[in-house]
Structure formats: C-alpha cells, structure tokens
Amino acid sequence: MQAIAKAILKTIIVTVFILLFMNMVYFFPWYMTMITETFHISQLVANDNYLKQSYYDESLNRLRERPIFRERKYDIEIIVLNESGSRAVGYDDESLYEYSTDFSKPYRQRGSPITVEIKANYPLSLTLWGNRIEGIDIPASFSLTTFGLKHYKDLEYN
C-alpha cells in the first residue's frame, strides 16, 4: 500500500515538473521578443539621442498587442534614461525645446549614453485537468545602453 502511494506521489510530482518545464519553454520566445524590442527602441533612441513620444506609444502598443504578452499587457514598462538619470522621452517636435535649459531637455549631445530598459512580468501558470492554476509572476527586464548619434547645435559640444 505504501509503495502504491509513493508511486502516485512520484507520478504527480513528475507531471508537475513536466508542466512547469513546458511553461518555461514559452518563456524563451517571450524573453527574446523583449530583447528584440529593446534593440529596436535603442536604435530609435540613438538616432535622435532621445525617444520621441510617438515612438514610445507605438512601441508600447506593439508590445501590448502581441499575443505572447496579452496576459500581463499592462505590466509592461519602457524606461529610457539619459546619462544624468532623467527620463529621455520627449515631444516629437524638438523645436519646442529651443528656449529650454540644457538640463530640462530630454536629449543630450552626441556621444552621451542612453539606457533603454523594458520590464515585464512573465505569468507562470499550469493547466491541470482543465483547471488553470495561476502561479507566480516572474519579473524580467532587459536593458541596453546606446550612444546618441545626432549633433545638436543648441547644446555645448565637449
């Protein structure tokens, strides 16, 4: 009797581990999507030394509309910071910053590092006998540092 109970317990444990492994198989495409989107945003940031608001909204909506992110689509964050640690997302028209101080502008001069980071939560869940068991959320993020390529005449060049 004890052997049968141990066999059933081992079967249940092995089944749970197989289901967890199958769930983790979906994690890698999910994370790779986050990496490629971070790379895409970093290329946009490098062109203007900051991220324009329309690009920010477009990238965030593109991530939220992907089926792989649909379960936790409002947990996605795109963070763009310049070298001073301030937010590097700004207006589409850079002429609006003409009379602003250098520190209040979202962009910096050519060669300044800009960090792009995407944060999201991966939902770990199991489906056993047709019942969905919600697990924990695994927080994941990927950041990439790029350098601005555009030279601005309204900023001092070092």
Domain encompassing residue 69: 27-147
93 within domain boundaries: yes
13 within domain boundaries: no
Angle at 16 between CA 10 and CA 20, to 5 degrees: 145
20 within domain boundaries: no
Average pLDDT of the segment spanning 100-115: 81
User: Which of 56, 60, 55, 45 has the alpha carbon at shortest distance from 120?
Assistant: 60
Residue 129: pLDDT above 80? no
Residue 150's pLDDT is 79
Q: Which residue has the higher pLDDT, 80 or 108?
A: 80
21 within domain boundaries: no
Domain count, the chain: 1
128 within domain boundaries: yes
What letters, b where the CB count within 10 A reaches 16 and e where it falls short, cover 53-81? eebbeebbeebeeeeebeeeeeebebebb
Residue 34's pLDDT is 93
Quote the CA–CA distance of 115 and 154 in Å, as a whole number: 22
Per-residue pLDDT tens digits for 32-87:
999 999 999 999 999 888 899 999 999 999 999 998 888 888 999 999 998 888 88
Residue 88: pLDDT above 70? yes
Q: Which residue has the higher pLDDT, 40 or 133?
A: 40
Quote the mean pLDDT of the chain: 85
| 3-state secondary structure at position 84 | coil
For residue 87, the cross-strand partners are 81
47 within domain boundaries: yes
Q: Is the pTM of this model over 0.85?
A: no
98 within domain boundaries: yes
Residue 126: pLDDT above 80? no
- What phi, psi does 146 have (nearest 5°)? -125, 170
Residue 76's pLDDT is 94
Helices 53-65 and 27-48 cross at an angle (nearest 10°) of 170
